[in-house]
Structure 1
Amino acid sequence: MANSDIRKFPVGIQSFTEIREQGYLYVDKTDIVWNLVKNGKKYNYLSRPRRFGKSVLVDTLQAYLEGRRQLFEGLRIMQMEREWTSHPVVRLDMSSAGAEPESIRAYLDDAFHQYEKKYNVEVRQLTSLAVRLKNIIATAYENTGQRVAVLVDEYDSPLQHSWHSPHHEACTNIYREVFAVLKMMDAQLYFVFITGITKFTQISLFSVLNNLSNISFDQQYATICGITDKEIKENFMPEIELMAETGNWTIDETMDKLKGYYDGYHFCAENMVDIYNPFSLINALCDRRLRNYWAASGATSLISKFVDDFEIRLADFEKCEIMRNTLETSDVTGGGPELFLYQSGYLTIKSCDEFGYILGIPNTEVRQALNEMVLPALTMRKEGD
């Protein structure tokens, strides 16, 4: 492949619009997106580890729900969608909100202000955030004649970072206040999609909004984030060949190395297709080398908040049992360290039976990152420990 033929990788880009308009490589998930909206539930929650493409998925959903057909030319959804109805979309990215109640309120205040201007919502003084969201949804519906879609990306980011801090309860109170509106506005809503890593059931998303369907373990959505072997062969073979040439490996050796480093994730007992970490895979193909990209992006920063004595328990997580109900429905704050490690990508499903799951470390990259994290702590411990 000549230098002029080298294709553009969307490294660090989370905008579906930019990926499509600027000609970046895109792994086509639009058939799953169409099925989720057209044939799925109305209220949906999806948990996937950080850097697994949740934000690109949310951006793809927004473009589709807004009816921006031109962005989807040549993709699978074009064979499925006939109407391309434009719905008003309210999108919130809670990773921008900070970990204190004041910063959450400031973010929501600014976001709601933008939508109030967009839909000409009458703004009254001293109106609560909950009432403002209610008015935005109602006015958008009245102005357009179409029901509203609400997309909330990384809903749990402020709650993760405030956990074990004096601000945590105040943060959850804001969530209870604001997001309970979504159930109240059911008649004006078309589709609700919420992403996160960890699950905090005491907030309104899972208590007040009790019709929220957790699709994280559903068979048809197992590959909605991440990249499969089939998708690698369909999309990245020129880059595989370049990496093989750079490393002086065969194509098969290159595929095996990538698989060992970045593959091995499973998110559904009924669909155990292997899934690669997309962030690490794309970086490796772009750089043509094997490195620990995921942990270097800050993936291990929250372990100490949720797992005690991790350094002396690491061996316990190589193969650990967990009840099915604990993994699929429990709150991260009471489900034990295995639950947090699964939700955040350090463990994955290895096998299962009617009683529960066997979890283990998914690949070389994660194992290496965890070993590097625990070594300093281990060397500081006393010989008896």
Structure 2
Amino acid sequence: MSKTIAIGLQDFRKIREQNTFYVDKTKLIKEWWESRDDVTLITRPRRFGKTLTMSMIEQFFSIKYSECSQIFEGLYIWSDKEFQKLQGTYPVISLTFSDVKETSYEQMRKKICEIIVDLYNDNDFLLNGDILNDREKEYFRKVSAEMEDYEITIALRRLSGYLFKYYGKKTIILLDEYDTPMQESFVGDYWDEFTAFTRSLFNATFKNNPYLERAIMTGITRISKESIFSDLNNLEIVTTTSSKYDEMFGFTEAEVDVALKEYDLWDRKAEVKRWYDGFTFGEKKELYNPWSIINFLDKKKVGPYWTNTSSNRLVRKVIQEGTKQVKETFETLLLGGSISTAIDEQIIYNQLNLDEGAIWSLLLASGYLKVKGQSIHEGDYGQWKHVYELEITNYEVKVMFHDMVRDWFAYSASNYNEFIRALLQDDLKAMNIYMNRISASTFSYFDTGRKPSESEPERFYHGFVLGLIVELANRYELTSNRESGFGRYDVMLVPKNHEDDAVILEFKVQDMDDERELSDTVQAAIRQINEKNYAASLIQKGIPDNKIRKYGFAFQGKKVLIGSESK
């Protein structure tokens, strides 16, 4: 009989004692311990088993679980007699920042302080007897959210010291989802304050801690060393492009095959592979995200399980507010293409508004993009750089991106749908009415966010083009900024059905020096379509001139005027 599927269960002991579905990843314990690394940072996309892995490691090493060795029996790690002797022999401090998502620095700081307070409460047995002296006991009792920064940032180091005095052994420290509050601080605009606090906390805990045996941190991204790890020269970093522990997070294809057979779903293999395969860690390809696989095994139908478990707020923000170049590159991905870009896996959050490469690095680390290929090129000043070819990871992520683009127009969904209908019917009057309504209600959503401006409509209309891709993909092949004739057109819709017209759209911002009226700008746009012969590629495809519609879009702030060659 197949084991019960437990959705969202992240406590290793519960999974084993309740005999629910589990894929053995205990080999990580052996590989990590034998590596002898002081502090290990492992980055993986969310819902890839990081929290369950930390629970597994805690319950293997912690003295608190010394009487629970049976939960490891029958697993890979228990086949090694030497590791059986290690189980339950170390003091362990385990904490998670997964729920630290406050909207202000002060609230974020208090939340982390309360997590540390809970750790002290869990270990209040240390106050018994004479293990701690009076001064240590006084500090122990004073730990609270109201403490000064200099006091709270050394709290984890001091707790590991107290545990050392009690057990006579150095402490293993496990920090899960270390970067969740980092992402929130960037979105909430208190990045500098929070990183200063975190830098002090991490240095005291992981660098200047004589009572630390070893430590593991997990997260989605590798925050730049300059931001929070400036003094940690003992840090082993394992990112999604690293081969170390490549099979220890996520499910391999072989593991998925075993599960599909166990649950009588083998005939759905191709469907599951299309939706959920595609993740790559190091040289290991064909990895699946566990959350979607477990949900599929339970519900027996495909769906966007992994992508629906989070608001994807940061990803939405950096693309939605991104520059023209960001949206054009994203368009290539959305159309099923790949992009080549240099990747710096050190995410500098306060550069996300300035550095396009940082955005694709973020999407790669988060699991939304995968590595298709890579090469090494000589850059400026003789420096060599890794260039990666990236594409959307799988169909589930593509569905998420399509939904994300639709959400951009949620405030004017009816107007957007009416505009699409008017465009298909060549109803110029209706196109103008609905396009201006869309612009008025959604323009600011495509701006920079921090310094909104109505002088750069490129952010809006390139977001608008992405919306066209999503809505018309079944009826048209849509491209933009491609060469045709003697220039590069803005948007071209090539019909998949010969009965439909082809469409060329050209966008222009009004030049007040040369164009007194928006109508002048419209005519300039249409004139450019004709003078540059943008229709050439359509004619080469066999589309007659009378089946090609040409529209000029003129922008003045949020105001839009659309005209056509014949009207």
Give the TM-score of the pair, scaled to structure 2: 0.61
Pick one of 309, 313, 330 that aligns with 1:314: 330
Question: Is residue 94 from structure 1 mapped to residue 97 from structure 2 by the alignment?
Answer: yes
Question: Is residue 275 from structure 1 mapped to residue 287 from structure 2 by the alignment?
Answer: yes
- Please give the per-residue CA displacement for 1:340-380, whole angstroms capped at 9, x wherever unaligned: 11111110111223342211111111111112211354755
Distance in 2, matches of 1:337 and 1:218, equals 20
Residue identity over aligned pairs, in percent, reads 25
Deviation at 1:286, TM superposition (A): 0.8
Counterpart in the other structure of 2:401? 370
Structure 1: which amino acid aligns with 2:258?
E
TM alignment of 1:155-170, pairs within 5 A: 155-170=178-193
Preserved CA contact (<8 Å) 1:69 1:84? no
Distance in 1, matches of 2:33 and 2:138, equals 31
Pick one of 304, 308, 316 that aligns with 1:304: 316
Distance in 1, matches of 2:367 and 2:311, equals 9
Distance in 1, matches of 2:367 and 2:316, equals 15
Shift of the 184–345 alpha-carbon distance from structure 1 to 2, 3 Å rule, reads closer
Query: Per the alignment, in what secondary structure is the counterpart of residue 84 of structure 2?
Result: coil
Distance in 1, matches of 2:36 and 2:274, equals 34
Question: Is residue 336 from structure 1 mapped to residue 353 from structure 2 by the alignment?
Answer: no
Preserved CA contact (<8 Å) 1:147 1:189? yes
Runs (4+) of structure 1 exceeding 6 A deviation are: none
Preserved CA contact (<8 Å) 1:332 1:339? no
Shift of the 219–290 alpha-carbon distance from structure 1 to 2, 3 Å rule, reads same
Question: Is residue 71 from structure 1 mapped to residue 71 from structure 2 by the alignment?
Answer: yes
Shift of the 234–33 alpha-carbon distance from structure 1 to 2, 3 Å rule, reads farther
Counterpart in the other structure of 2:54? 58
Distance in 1, matches of 2:96 and 2:43, equals 15
Query: Number of residues paired by the alignment?
Result: 367
Moved more, 93-102 or 302-311: 302-311
Structure 2: which amino acid aligns with 1:314?
F
Counterpart in the other structure of 2:85? 83
Structure 2: which amino acid aligns with 1:315?
E
Distance in 2, matches of 1:304 and 1:365, equals 16
Distance in 2, matches of 1:164 and 1:111, equals 22
Shift of the 330–96 alpha-carbon distance from structure 1 to 2, 3 Å rule, reads closer
Structure 2: which amino acid aligns with 1:342?
L
Distance in 2, matches of 1:230 and 1:184, equals 40
- Please give the per-residue CA displacement for 1:145-168, whole angstroms capped at 9, x wherever unaligned: 111111111111111112143422
Is the strand fraction higher in 1 or 2?
Answer: 2
Counterpart in the other structure of 1:358? 389
Moved more, 122-131 or 170-179: 122-131
Shift of the 295–376 alpha-carbon distance from structure 1 to 2, 3 Å rule, reads same
Query: Per the alignment, in what secondary structure is the counterpart of residue 82 of structure 1?
Result: helix
Pick one of 123, 148, 157 that aligns with 1:134: 157
Preserved CA contact (<8 Å) 1:311 1:374? no
Moved more, 299-308 or 43-52: 299-308
Deviation at 1:17, TM superposition (A): 1.6
Preserved CA contact (<8 Å) 1:311 1:375? no
Deviation at 1:94, TM superposition (A): 0.8
Distance in 1, matches of 2:36 and 2:392, equals 31
TM alignment of 1:280-295, pairs within 5 A: 280-295=292-307
Preserved CA contact (<8 Å) 2:98 2:176? yes
Distance in 2, matches of 1:278 and 1:297, equals 13
Distance in 1, matches of 2:235 and 2:138, equals 29
Deviation at 1:332, TM superposition (A): 4.6
Structure 2: which amino acid aligns with 1:337?
I
Pick one of 189, 195, 200 that aligns with 2:218: 195
Counterpart in the other structure of 1:256? 270
Distance in 1, matches of 2:46 and 2:138, equals 36
Distance in 2, matches of 1:131 and 1:336, equals 32
Query: Per the alignment, in what secondary structure is the counterpart of residue 313 of structure 2?
Result: coil
Query: Per the alignment, in what secondary structure is the counterpart of residue 221 of structure 1?
Result: coil
Deviation at 1:203, TM superposition (A): 6.3
Pick one of 355, 364, 370 that aligns with 1:348: 370
Counterpart in the other structure of 2:116? 112
Structure 1: which amino acid aligns with 2:373?
S
Distance in 1, matches of 2:11 and 2:24, equals 14
Distance in 1, matches of 2:184 and 2:360, equals 19
Shift of the 359–327 alpha-carbon distance from structure 1 to 2, 3 Å rule, reads farther
Deviation at 1:50, TM superposition (A): 1.2
Structure 1: gaps spanning 5 or more residues: 244-250
TM alignment of 1:17-56, pairs within 5 A: 17-56=13-52
Distance in 2, matches of 1:375 and 1:230, equals 36
RMSD: 2.4
Decide which structure has the larger Cα Rg and report it: 2
Deviation at 1:144, TM superposition (A): 0.7
Shift of the 137–374 alpha-carbon distance from structure 1 to 2, 3 Å rule, reads same
Shift of the 203–181 alpha-carbon distance from structure 1 to 2, 3 Å rule, reads farther
Structure 1: which amino acid aligns with 2:92?
V
Structure 2: gaps spanning 5 or more residues: 128-135, 352-356, 377-385, 410-415, 417-437, 439-460, 465-504, 508-567
Distance in 2, matches of 1:313 and 1:357, equals 14
Pick one of 122, 133, 143 that aligns with 2:137: 122
Structure 2: which amino acid aligns with 1:71?
I
Preserved CA contact (<8 Å) 1:141 1:188? yes
Distance in 2, matches of 1:232 and 1:186, equals 41
Deviation at 1:134, TM superposition (A): 2.1
Preserved CA contact (<8 Å) 2:199 2:229? no
Counterpart in the other structure of 1:246? none
Query: Per the alignment, in what secondary structure is the counterpart of residue 98 of structure 2?
Result: helix
Preserved CA contact (<8 Å) 2:225 2:346? no
Distance in 2, matches of 1:168 and 1:177, equals 14
Preserved CA contact (<8 Å) 2:348 2:358? no
Structure 1: which amino acid aligns with 2:74?
G
Distance in 2, matches of 1:188 and 1:357, equals 41
Counterpart in the other structure of 1:154? 177
Deviation at 1:327, TM superposition (A): 3.6
Deviation at 1:169, TM superposition (A): 1.8
Query: Per the alignment, in what secondary structure is the counterpart of residue 285 of structure 2?
Result: coil
Deviation at 1:55, TM superposition (A): 0.7
Pick one of 7, 10, 19 that aligns with 1:11: 7
